[in-house]
A and B are shown apart, each in its own frame.
Chain A
């Protein structure tokens, strides 16, 4: 029924070169997913809403990066623009619209986000056009790929993995150790008490939402050189990052990292063995995790 190619899969697993190539491509898929998913999980953990329009911020990050790269020619600036632009957009979105539906039922929250998925996709279609766009690899990275055990590893992939890992460490340490991290965790736990202690919770909510959107925008900007850009590109990423958070456990940063890496590896190795059913494999994996551990691998309990 689905074209099965187990020979290709086992053939790859015995050759170190192929394992290295597939693992790195799995890692970059996973790292990009992690950046999107960690924003989603952070917003959920603190604000208790699921940002169903999170994928749109990934999309905006990519488009902002492409435009600023074409204007300035600097890749660093492009990534910064992508991240900063989506952070501002996220802040406005949260303050003006999402803050209206806190505490309302899930249906309202989903609907507001659904409305913005439709609106944002059309805005991108209006501004950048409906066709596929590509940003192109920055000149600095157009160099010979590295060869590790015979496997091909483009240098850009290393940058991508490095940035995502750095983001994970900064986030994890920042939330655990810094003063603002402690305030955020307190606000997640008991917003009324935090507010009574004289801390502006609206500001914290807006800031966390903007931070989450910025991470999605950063992922979009980093993905721009290696993916094609199209309106609606955010939705597939949203679904996958939601699978990541379900697998890893909602609200857990470590869970998001492990979940994203597992999913990335499933995608890259799965595409060898089950070329047409790669997506199906992810859903199957999610179902297995859900049946075994309904709260996810690192989740505490289901609310």
Chain B
């Protein structure tokens, strides 16, 4: 609801000012992104530990995935419970193209994006006209369809063994992704570029159209917005970023496993969003870092990971009723700032 209030103060009617404002935001976002990238890039100079770099790479993969899910959940109000299928599709698509054709890495990456775009358009065209819980479960069913296809198409995907034998990573213009530092820098770059692109989507007029659809789809429709098309567009865009997360993951583990396409990935994505908060752009990123830390600590301490995770979820869902960043933003707003809400 916080965005509803923020939207009221944004003076949506004065178009020139809105444009000026969005331009100012663009420079600010670009600066923040550059600073974040430089910070991440020089990190290995100070902390050379492989575990830390691995952690950042995993954060990149899941962060891209979770933030793209927030485009649907937080900005458009479409609760997808099958977003993980695109994560899996990215990992398998990229891995298979590299294994079967041996094209340069960027070509394979673009081809993976193209495949995802086609698949997401077909699935989205069927799903986006459904509302709320129907949308959630039909996306979930598609996730399971893709998962069972991966399991049963053994000759191509290796079935439940996953895509094994490693993913070949030929050197491209001096970029050697089998080198750990190169992989790290590439993941960070993909993360920062991805986040910046998603930020631009949310700040664009289209992004505000999405918020309007979330708050009142009927009104959006009355003033002439094609709701179906807008929802389909954001569904496909979000799928592309989720796929990028999957590509990073497959590069990191040098393979792809059926778990990447299993429903629990979608469940974790939803939970990450909840944990970090869906009312700020960076909430899912915070949630990703929290979940991965939680994940690593709990699995070390107990084999009953589900119970601990479940109790943490309950604490956030019933206890706080909001995510961590929502909390921080509210606290900041009470102190008199605007809290950087969008």
Known: A277-B152, A280-B145, A290-B126. A111 touches B271 (CB 8 A): yes
- CA A302 to CA B129, docked complex, whole Å: 10
A146 sits at the interface (CB 8 A): no
A44 to B137, CA, bound (A): 13
- Which 10 A-B pairs rank lowest in CB-CB distance, beginning with the nearest? A118-B306, A119-B310, A115-B313, A122-B306, A276-B152, A283-B145, A115-B310, A118-B310, A111-B317, A279-B148
Q: In whole Å, how far is A285's beta carbon from the nearest beta carbon of chain B?
A: 11
Chain A residues lying within 8 Å of B316, measured Cβ to Cβ, are 111
Does B138 lie within 8 Å of A246, measured CB to CB?
yes
Given contacts A118-B310, A126-B304, A246-B137, contact A106 B270 (CB under 8 A): no
Chain A residues 76 to 122 lying within 8 A of chain B, measured CB to CB, are: 97, 100-101, 104, 106-108, 110-112, 114-119, 121-122
| 12 sampled A-B residue pairs with Cβ under 8 A | A101-B317, A107-B278, A111-B274, A115-B313, A116-B310, A118-B307, A118-B310, A122-B307, A246-B138, A250-B134, A283-B145, A294-B130
> Which residue of the partner chain, among B132, B142, B310, B311, contacts A283 with CB atoms under 8 Å?
B142
Contacting pair A2 B152 (CB below 8 A): yes
The answer to whether A101 and B318 touch across the interface, beta carbons within 8 angstroms, is yes
Contact digits for A274-286, partner B, Cβ 8 Å, 1 yes 0 no: 0011011001101
Chain B interface residues (CB < 8 Å from chain A): 73, 79, 81, 126, 129-134, 136-138, 140-142, 144-145, 148-149, 152-153, 155-156, 263, 267, 270-271, 274, 278, 304-307, 309-311, 313-314, 316-318, 321
**Residue contact A106 to B141, C-beta cutoff 8 Å:** no
CB distance from A255 to the nearest CB of B (A): 14
Apart from A101-B318, A111-B274, A122-B310, 14 more pairs, CB < 8 Å = A1-B156, A112-B317, A114-B270, A119-B306, A122-B304, A235-B263, A239-B141, A246-B134, A246-B138, A250-B134, A276-B152, A290-B138, A294-B129, A294-B130
From B131, B136, B263, A303 is in contact (CB under 8 Å) with B131
A contact residues around B307 at 8 Å (CB): 118-119, 122-123
CA of A101 to CA of B267, assembled, Å? 18
Q: Which residues of A contact B133 (CB under 8 A)?
A: 44, 50, 106
Q: Which of A97, A100, A114, A303 has the most CB of B within 10 A?
A: A114
Complexed CA–CA distance, A290 and B145 (Å): 15
CA distance A121 to B306 in the complex (A): 8
From B132, B141, B318, A242 is in contact (CB under 8 Å) with B141
Contact present for B141 and A286 (CB under 8 Å): yes
Query: Which chain A positions have C-beta within 8 A of B155?
Result: 1
Q: Give Cα distance in the complex from A108 to B318, angstroms.
A: 8
- Hey, which chain A residues are within 8 Å of B304, CB to CB? 122, 125-126
User: Across the interface, which residues of A come within 8 angstroms of B132, CB to CB?
Assistant: 106, 303
Residues of B within 8 Å of A126, CB to CB, are 304
Which residues on the A side are within 8 Å of B156 (C-beta)? 1
CB distance from A105 to the nearest CB of B (A): 8
Residues on A with C-beta less than 8 A from B305 are 122
CB contacts (< 8 Å) of A242 on chain B: these are 137, 140-141
Asked whether A107 and B274 contact (CB < 8 A) given A290-B138, A302-B131, the answer is: yes
A33: B residues at CB distance < 8 A:
none
Nearest chain B residue, comparing its CB with the CB of A291? B126
Cβ contact within 8 Å between A97 and B314 = yes
A104 to B322, CA, bound (A): 12
Taken together as a complex, chains A and B put the C-alpha atoms of A235 and B141 apart, in Å, by 12
Tell me the minimal C-beta distance from A38 to chain B in angstroms. 17
Complex Cα distance, B271 from A55, in Å, reads: 20
Q: Is A287 at the interface (CB under 8 A from chain B)?
A: yes
Q: Which of A110, A276, A302 contacts B134 (CB 8 A)?
A: A302
Which residues of chain B are within 8 angstroms of A239 by Cβ–Cβ distance? 140-141, 144
Partner of A114, one of B131, B137, B271: B271
List residues of chain B with CB within 8 A of the CB of A237: none
Whole-angstrom CA separation of A53 from B219 in the bound complex: 34
**CB closest residue in chain A, given B305:** A122
The answer, yes or no, to whether A47 is at the interface (CB within 8 Å) is no
How far does the alpha carbon of A283 sit from the alpha carbon of B313 in the complex, in Å? Answer: 30
Which of chain A's residues have a CB closer than 8 A to the CB of B278?
Answer: 107
How far is A101 from B313 in the complex, measured between Cα atoms in Å?
A: 14
Say yes or no: A106 contacts B148, CB within 8 Å: no
Q: What are the residues of chain B within 8 A of A213 when measuring CB–CB?
A: none
How many angstroms from the CA of A294 to the CA of B142 in the assembled complex? 16
Q: Which of A101, A107, A291, A302 has the most CB of B within 10 A?
A: A107
Q: Which residues from chain A contact B129 at a C-beta distance below 8 Å?
A: 294
The answer to whether A280 touches B136, judged by C-beta atoms less than 8 angstroms apart, is no
Q: Are B79 and A107 in contact (CB under 8 A)?
A: yes
Bound form: Cα–Cα A108–B270 in Å: 10
Q: Does A187 contact B (CB under 8 A)?
A: no
> Shortest distance in angstroms between B184's beta carbon and chain A's nearest beta carbon?
32
Cα of A106 to Cα of B133 in the assembled complex, Å: 7
Least CB distance from A289 to B in Å reads 11
B306 & A280 in contact (Cβ 8 Å cutoff)? no
For the complex, is A266 an interface residue (Cβ under 8 Å from B)? no
| A243 on interface, CB distance cutoff 8 Å | yes
**A-side contacts of B134, CB under 8 Å:** 246, 250, 294, 302
A246–B148 Cα gap in the complex (Å)?
Answer: 19
Give the residues in chain B near A277, CB-CB below 8 Å. Answer: 148-149, 152
Query: Which residues of chain B come closer than 8 Å to A117, judged between CB atoms?
Result: 310
Within 8 A of B (CB), among A117-169: 117-119, 121-123, 125-126
Chain B residues with Cβ below 8 Å from A291 are 126
Q: Is the CB of B318 within 8 A of A106?
A: no
Contacts of A107 in B (CB 8 A): 73, 79, 270, 274, 278
